[in-house]
Amino acid sequence: MVKYKQLNLKDIPYYRKLIANIQNNRCAICGEKLDEGAALDHQHRFKNEPIGENGAGLVRGVLCRRCNTFEGKIFNNTRRFQVKNINEWLKKLIEYWDSPNYPYIHPSEKPKKPKISKRQYNLLKKNYDKKAKFPEFPKSGKLTKKLESLFNEYNISPYLKVSEKDKHV
């Protein structure tokens, strides 16, 4: 039977420093240099789970604050969503992320249409030579059908072209 040492809250700074030294003062996950916000990470245990069974309740290492927070969110969500074997699930997730994508763009990723340029609108208005009332500049900035037909008729782009010089600023 394995013997475990029960730590008290006052023991945390000592063991955090001891384990951090073993880890060369680097986060056990991301490898970044540890600072004062580093956490003595441990594996939480489920109700009625014996201490030490599959690592339950035991210290795992020292993590930077960011990795400790992220690891905790992953662990808590695996319980929430009843993921049975987290190690296998994470391996499959990495395989999934590394697999090729399908050549379809999701509707939520549809590129947004650019807003019309006020400068181009004013240029069109200046060149407008008809007696009919000229359409107002749309508050949304979206190109209306009426304005689109006028821009096409006068061969003016509704969008301000970015010059090569401005692209590199």
The residue with tokens 């359409």 is: 135
Return the CATH superfamily for domain 9-98.
His-Me finger endonucleases (3.40.1800.10)
Q: How confident is the model at residue 169 (pLDDT cuts 50, 70, 90)?
A: very low
Task: Give the residue range(s) of CATH 3.40.1800.10 domains in the chain.
Answer: 9-98
The percent of residues in the chain predicted with pLDDT above 70, rounded, is 95
Position 74 confidence tier, pLDDT thresholds 50, 70, 90: very high
The pLDDT of residue 47? 84
- What radius of gyration, in Å, describes the C-alpha atoms of the chain? 30
Q: What residue type is 70 in one-letter code?
A: F
- For residue range 33-58, list pLDDT tens digits in order: 999 999 999 998 888 889 998 888 99
Q: Which residue has the tokens 């023991």?
A: 11
pLDDT at 14 over 60: yes
